[in-house]
Amino acid sequence: MKILALESSATAASVAVSVDGELIAQSFQRAGLTHSRTLMPMCRDLLANCGLTLEGMDVVAVAAGPGSFTGLRIGVAAAKGLAWPENKPCAGVSTLEAMAWPLAHLEGDLCAVMDARRNQVYNARFQAGCGTLTRLCPDRALSLDELAEELRERKKTQILVGDGAGLCYNELTKRGLPVELAPSHLRWQSAWGVARAAEAMAWAGGLVTAAALAPVYHRLSQAERERLDRAAEQEKGEAPHG
């Protein structure tokens, strides 16, 4: 199975090609440029440099969320555009699961975290072993206090992975919890992890059409939250006084 995978959920952008579960090539960039400028040229150049074609890919995969609202939209739109002309099946994988897959060779608990702002993190936890992952909880947005309490009950060392790993390491070690940082070269979101997650999704029958592919935000955008806050304030101001 040949998979073209895209990752643009946070500050880094990456593209990878895998064949039957093995990484063939990956392009990774964390230089601060917008993903709308970098993602499609990275796809084109990676395929060309490998002597591969889009037509030869079996699946187009993308990190569908959680993550940056703009980054997710760019990644999903790019994947849909690549898959649609030849009706390629798509895999919209969990960003958090994709972050955990490159560490599946370890034995123990993996805690995937992304900074969700507003004193929250996006999080999912997995148990790694023998090259596979067992999911311990669904993807969710929760406070660091809630995560700390959950890990205290788990009573196992957590390997932190993701762009929120540094933040969580500092906060959780202050609370006396046993946590470790994943090696820096495996800590950031990557398209290779997306490809690994997509292969598992394909074998589980979870692929979708380009038309059905969509971002999974897990939380309202800032603009939507502000709109609801304004509406609530307006409704409060118009409420009759008794």
Helix, strand, or coil (residue 203):
helix
Report the alpha-carbon distance of residue 107 to residue 99 in Å, rounded. 16
Same domain, 82 and 24: yes
- Within 10 angstroms of residue 33's Cβ, the number of other Cβ atoms is 12
- Helix (H) and strand (E) counts for the chain? 8, 11
Residue among 7, 115, 85 nearest 123 (CA) = 115
47-56 residue pLDDT tens? 999 999 999 9
Chain centroid to CA 25: 19
- Asked whether the beta carbons of 168 and 142 are under 8 A apart, the reply is no
Same domain, 88 and 195: yes
Same domain, 113 and 72: no
Indicate the number of domains in the chain: 2
pTM: 0.89
Residue 144: domain span = 98-187
125-169 residue pLDDT tens? 999 999 999 999 999 999 999 999 999 999 999 999 999 999 999
Same domain, 168 and 205: no
Same domain, 108 and 25: no
Q: Where does the pLDDT of residue 234 fall: very low under 50, low under 70, confident under 90, or very high at 90 and above?
A: low
Task: Give a yes or no: residue 149 inside a domain.
Answer: yes
118-132 residue pLDDT tens? 889 999 999 999 999
Q: Looking at residue 31, which CATH number applies to its domain? A: 3.30.420.40
Q: Where does the pLDDT of residue 32 fall: very low under 50, low under 70, confident under 90, or very high at 90 and above?
A: confident
Same domain, 198 and 80: yes
